[in-house]
Amino acid sequence: MHNPAEEKEWRLPSRGLAAMVSLIIGETALFSIFVVAYVFYMGKSISGPQPSQVLELPIFMTICLWSSSLTIVLAERAIEHGKMKVFSLFWGLTILLGAIFLGGTAMEWHKLIYHDGLTISTNLFGTTFYSLVGLHASHVIVGLIMLLIVFFFSLTGRLQPKHAYQIKTLALYWHFVDAVWVVVFTVVYLVGR
């Protein structure tokens, strides 16, 4: 027999979560356009360096970025349990891993531009490569800025366990950035090379 008293009351999701999910859906559409363009123009450059000539597998920086998904999950768990020092440690480690990834991207671009002569205007490969990888890098930068703001609040004591839900919502964005890298890495460095 059905007992209505045992049912949980349905509530609207939080505005923050709804906004983050909407942002991620919109950004997924944007990245999809750039990935399709990259795939469409793959192998169609008639001049300049080709991917196989200049791209190296960014293994270390990829490991750093994907590891940052683990450290942010550990930070989320720490704040849920009120362990603010542990939260700050793992949150700071997430920032460090993201910064290493971004530094690796900068070093790769420096090599491609100054050593290999590949710029955004060199050929179709250069245009689509810098557009796609640059779009991802810009999202990493935005994510790092948000993470740094939260880190500042954690160090000054303004962040409390009651903010765990907001932290989980922000962490969704970081997981999105990591998930997008799975696609970018696969398309650019594995399939396109």
User: What's the pLDDT score for residue 163?
Assistant: 97
In this model, does residue 33 exceed pLDDT 70? yes
Average pLDDT over residues 140-168: 97
- Amino acid making up residue 128: T
pTM above 0.75, yes or no: yes
Average pLDDT over residues 23-51: 95
Lowest mean pLDDT among 42-56, 100-114, 129-143: 42-56
pLDDT for 130 beyond 60: yes
The residue with tokens 């050929």 is 123
Tell me: domain 72-193, CATH 1.20.120.80, correct?
yes
Summarize the confidence of residues 123-140 as an average pLDDT: 97
- From the list 28, 170, 185, the residue with the least C-alpha distance to 95 is 170
Three-state DSSP at 63 gives helix
First to last CA, the chain: 62
Cβ atoms of 173 and 143 within 8 Å: the answer is yes
**pLDDT over 90 at 172, yes or no:** yes
DSSP classification of residue 185? I
**Which pairs from 104-110 meet CB under 8 Å and 24+ separation?**
104/58, 104/60, 104/61, 104/64, 105/58, 105/61, 105/133, 105/137, 105/140, 108/56, 108/58
* CB contact at 8 A, 126 and 119: yes
Percent of the chain with pLDDT over 70: 97
User: Model confidence at 2, in pLDDT bands (50, 70, 90)?
Assistant: low
- Phi, psi angle pair for 45, to nearest 5°: -75, 130
**Per-domain boundaries in the chain:** 72-193
If you average pLDDT over every residue of the chain, what do you get? 95
pLDDT at residue 5 is higher than 70: no
* Range 168-189 average pLDDT: 98
